[in-house]
């Protein structure tokens, strides 16, 4: 089976790791994701992963918690490191070497993010899990994913969500929402869609990296999006 890409950046939200629990890490989801990641890795794929922290804390919760936004954003970045370590552990239990690289300095558990070193890890066949967001407040992990994809020269950004693409409105709230199969970066920005941050779209546009939004909660869909056309929504240049 032929892969459509050589090097990918997979974006996983913290909410995906929480599964139906809404908080923390669902072990069945974590292990299924590890199985699927290792399966496509064994097909010869180079894989970078950016993982979010929303299953533990989002910076946007700061008002509710009474914590200032910048502090909450840093707390969210630390949450991504917890998720990255969990993902690293279950992937390595399946015999695949990984490296966690963090934009925040936590030398006891992760390497500092250095672009050239990250690329070297990928070339040596290691899965690289990028944690700590961009290392700066006010930037989401979507923006971190687009930034890391640009820096490692990824062929595509795969945004794993709970829905099977980009819709005209939130399909979980509006049953008459219509799926969009393909669109340009500019279309996405003009329509002001919320599946990805506008800063992430702009970074991807500048680097000309296509984005595929797909439903990663469906078993087997990670492999499908890499081997089949017409899975999810493709966002790219005209």
> Considering the domain boundaries, does residue 32 fall inside one?
yes
pLDDT for the residue numbered 92 = 98
Instruction: Please tell me whether residue 169 adopts helix, strand or coil conformation.
Output: coil
Q: Is the pLDDT of residue 20 over 90?
A: no
pLDDT for the residue numbered 1 = 72
Q: Across residues 49-60, what is the average pLDDT? A: 88
- DSSP E strands, 73-199: 98-102, 111-112, 127-131, 156-161, 166-167, 179-180, 182-184
**Which token pair is 97?**
């070497």
- Host domain of residue 75: 7-236
Check residue 128 and report its DSSP letter: E
Q: Is the pLDDT of residue 152 over 80?
A: yes
> Considering the domain boundaries, does residue 2 fall inside one?
no
> Whole-model pTM above 0.75?
yes
The 10s digit of each residue's pLDDT in 183-205 is 999 999 998 888 899 999 999 99
The 10s digit of each residue's pLDDT in 102-138 is 999 999 999 999 999 999 999 999 999 999 999 999 9
CATH number where 203 lies:
3.40.1160.10
Q: What is the mean pLDDT of the chain?
A: 94
pLDDT for the residue numbered 2 = 83
Domain count, the chain: 1
């Amino acid at each position: 089976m032929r892969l459509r890409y050589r090097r990918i950046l997979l974006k996983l939200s913290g909410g995906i790791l929480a599964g139906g629990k809404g908080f923390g890490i669902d072990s069945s989801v974590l292990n299924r994701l590890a199985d699927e990641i290792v399966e496509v890795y064994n097909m010869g794929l180079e894989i970078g992963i950016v993982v979010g922290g929303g299953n533990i804390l989002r910076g946007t919760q700061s008002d509710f918690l009474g914590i200032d936004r910048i502090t909450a954003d840093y707390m969210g970045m630390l949450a991504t490191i917890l998720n990255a370590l969990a993902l690293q552990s279950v992937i390595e239990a399946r015999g695949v070497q990984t490296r966690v690289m963090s934009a925040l300095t936590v030398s006891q558990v992760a390497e500092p993010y250095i672009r050239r070193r990250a690329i070297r890890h990928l070339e040596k066949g290691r899965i690289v899990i990028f944690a700590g967001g961009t290392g700066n407040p006010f930037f989401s992990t979507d923006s971190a994913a687009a930034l890391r994809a640009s820096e490692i020269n990824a062929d595509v950004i795969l945004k794993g969500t709970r829905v099977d693409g980009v819709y005209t409105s939130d399909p979980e709230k509006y049953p008459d929402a219509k799926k969009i199969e393909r669109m340009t970066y500019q279309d996405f920005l003009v329509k002001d869609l919320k599946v990805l941050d506008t800063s992430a779209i702009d970074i991807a546009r500048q680097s000309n990296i296509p984005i595929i939004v797909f439903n990663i909660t469906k078993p087997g869909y990670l492999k499908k999006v890499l081997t089949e056309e017409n899975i999810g929504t493709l966002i790219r240049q005209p």
